[in-house]
Structure 1
Amino acid sequence: MSKADNMLSILWMLRSGRRVTALQLAEKLEVHVRTIYRCIDALCASGVPIVAESGPNGGYYIIGEFFESPLFFDSDEQKGLIHASTFAQEAGYPHSDALTRAMDKLKRYTNDEQLEQLERHGEGLSVIYPKMEDKHRTFLQTLEESTGEGRTLEMAYDRGKGEASPPRRFDPYGIVYWKGNWYTIGYCGYREEIRSFRVDRIHWLRATESRFDRPMGFSAKNFLLGQLLPHPDQAAALETVRIRGHEQVLNELCRHWLFGHARVERQPEEAVFQLERSMIETYVPYFLMPYGTTLTIDSKLLVEKLVEASSKLTTHYQTMLSNLK
């Protein structure tokens, strides 16, 4: 183990409150006793109040007040860390290996009762996310590291439907996890503007020797949401839509990102939204179809588009049915 690991291990063993000799510590950690002396000296120099007492019952111990230090986590904090690691790893967190090692250390330096509680709570939480391919997890790690280091990348990207675009220089300003996908936001040298890219559409990434400075106060999250939600200048292109239905159905509808941000009024069995007309003409009708006849919609434009979309689906499946006879 590294010196830092040895020092942390010593701290956790001294946390029991019992006096422990240097020889006992050395045997436990399988290191030379001189390594223990050096680690104890380093801990004392960093401000840890370790006391050494000689004699038959002597040894090292820590003054009680130090147990309240933020270095040690109580049971709720430990549970929170275990659950947070579950979410992060299932979402494709780029440093999952390091996170696993950190959680192993947390479990290693707990007593039997704490370990049993951690295992019980850890097994009680499950998260289902789309599985990320190994190469995209590697890309995500490269993007995160380049974001922190301010290193420019060269990137080949699939624009969708198999259309590959020319390789581009890319300054990653941040990464965002949203709706089951990872996005990277930064300056695109090909378009010469700040853009967002889905990580699962990246073909390859290469680090360069160039550096960049992220704009002061830039928020990758706000930029991504700004692309998805209507801008105030587009108010003229908004349609007011009033939807009535059972309260639970409307609750489910309002949890969707588009309707949730577009909601301007809400009653138990009625909700009012301001939606972009372009979205109503393309996306919204198909999203509302699974709700069937549970909704009453007060918007001529949206109802017309629902009828149009329903007719297309009916024609499509009638043709399919006739071919199956």
Structure 2
Amino acid sequence: MSKSTNMLSILWLLRSGRRMTAQQLADELEIHIRTVYRCIDALCATGVPIVADSGPGGGYRVLERFADSPLLFDGEEQKALLHASAFAEEAGYPFGEALARAVDKLKRYANAMQLERMERHRDGLTVIHPPVDERQRELLRVLEEAGAEGRSVRMAYDKGRGEGPTEREYDPYGIVHWKGAWYTVGYCGLRGQLRSFRVDRIVRLESSERRFARPPEFSAKAHLMGELLPGALDADALTSVVLQGNDMVLDMLSQHWLFGHALVSREPGQAEYRIGTSALQTYVPYFLLPYGKTLTIREPAALVERLADVCSELTEHYRTMMKEQGSDTNER
């Protein structure tokens, strides 16, 4: 029998709930005991949770939760995996080759009808995303693996201000994909604090001998959003924001990262959010500005006042621009 056949046979025997020694497995399948050891190692490498119990009555077994679970994916699960792979591929997921192999396994063990259904679902979904080059994918692979292993890296980073790259030792706690860009969040040895960095601005990464432990309960996503949108979701200082408008407009607004996360209640023609008070005076008015007269701000009054000030500032800015352009035209 082939190695894959032996592996599958061993897996089925262990899934029966029996605890079996290597010799018992070898006798059952009429193969050499060394073949059993090789197959067990291969199964463990693929993620099968095989446990070896020593002593009298010991042997190999699989964890009960795995033994009770199905080995195959149903149609809806297959569709979800195919769609997830499409999103990941377009977003620049760093382990695309492994993902492609996983999808190939789904297709390899499908009959003609199942395969045709998979292809229809896969071809029915398209993702438009800014291209991610192979260099950035490699950086993401290094950062993800270093973070999982608790291994620091030496990083050269260019802020994009014409100052040239700066060197630092860095502990990558996690990577985050947000609005078409990849970020890494972790401890920066140069600044002595938690920082986030855009991966496409990393010039070079090198392995370090230093080790680190990620803080328990740390959220790279929460830290990044706290840096990019400071105060927006500060639990200690939230203000109720009530907006009214066409349901389609409110649905579009809910797709925005901040408003989607801050949503408290939604009813026809109205939505309520809880947003950091300081953010209402900074960037929230600019998020609402593109919606113009399609939205009505019921509360707070301070947000209406701030949005009116922003509009006045913009009006003055463009009137000044018109005067300058008119002056340039007269001079010519």
Confirm or deny a common fold (TM above 0.5).
yes
Structure 1 position 144, deviation (Å): 0.6
> Which residue is 2:244 aligned to?
244
| 1:54-203 correspondence to structure 2 within 5 Å | 70-164=70-164, 166-203=166-203
Residue 215 of structure 1 corresponds to 215
For residues 254 and 98 of structure 1, the distance between their equivalents in structure 2, rounded to whole angstroms, comes to: 34
Cα distance, 1:200–1:313 mapped onto 2, change above 3 Å: farther
Q: CA separation of 1:167/1:133 partners in 2, compared to 1, >3 Å: closer, same or farther?
A: same
Q: How far 1:39 sits from its partner (Å)?
A: 11
Q: CA deviation at 1:287?
A: 3.0
Q: CA RMSD in A?
A: 3.9
1:306 is matched with 311
Local SS of the residue matching 1:107: helix
Quote how far apart the aligned CAs of 1:278 are: 5.5
Aligned length: 281
Question: What displacement does 1:114 show?
Answer: 1.8
Q: Secondary structure at the match of 1:93?
A: coil
The answer as to 2:278 corresponding to 1:284 is no
Verify the 8 A CA contact 2:150 2:212 in the aligned structure 1: yes
Contact 1:285–1:309 (8 Å) recurs in 2: no
CA distance in 2, matches of 1:118, 1:111: 11
Partner of 2:293: 293
5+ long unaligned stretches in structure 2: 13-29, 49-66
TM-score by length of 2: 0.70
Write out per-residue CA displacement over residues 158-191 of structure 1, whole angstroms, 9 at most, x where no aligned residue: 3344444521100011112222221211111011
Displacement, 1:245?
2.5
* Residue in structure 2 matched with residue 7 of structure 1 by the alignment: 4
Q: Alpha carbons of 1:251 and 1:318: their partners in 2 closer, same or farther (altered >3 Å)? A: farther
Distance 1:192-1:10 versus aligned 2 partners, 3 A rule = closer
Correspondence list, 1:267-282, <5 A: 267-273=267-273, 275=275, 279-282=279-282
Q: Aligned residues: percent identity?
A: 48
Query: What are the Cα deviations for residues 261-286 of structure 1, in whole angstroms up to 9, with x where unaligned?
Result: 44556553344555556645553344
Which one-letter code corresponds to 2:205 in the other structure? Answer: L
Structure 1, unmatched stretches of 5+, are 16-35, 49-66
Q: Deviations over 1:275-318 (max 9, x none)?
A: 55664555334433322322334421221122212332454366
Q: Does 2:205 align with 1:231?
A: no
Alignment partner of 1:81: what SS?
helix
1:280, 1:302 within 8 Å by CA — same for their partners in 2? no
SS in 1 for 2:173: strand
Q: Which amino acid aligns with 1:7?
A: S
CA distance in 1, matches of 2:151, 2:102: 27
Q: What CA distance in whole angstroms lies between the structure 2 residues aligned with 1:273 and 1:68?
A: 43
C-alpha distance in structure 1 between counterparts of 2:270 and 2:213, whole Å: 48
SS of structure 2 residue aligned to 1:131: coil
Alignment correspondent of 1:204: 204
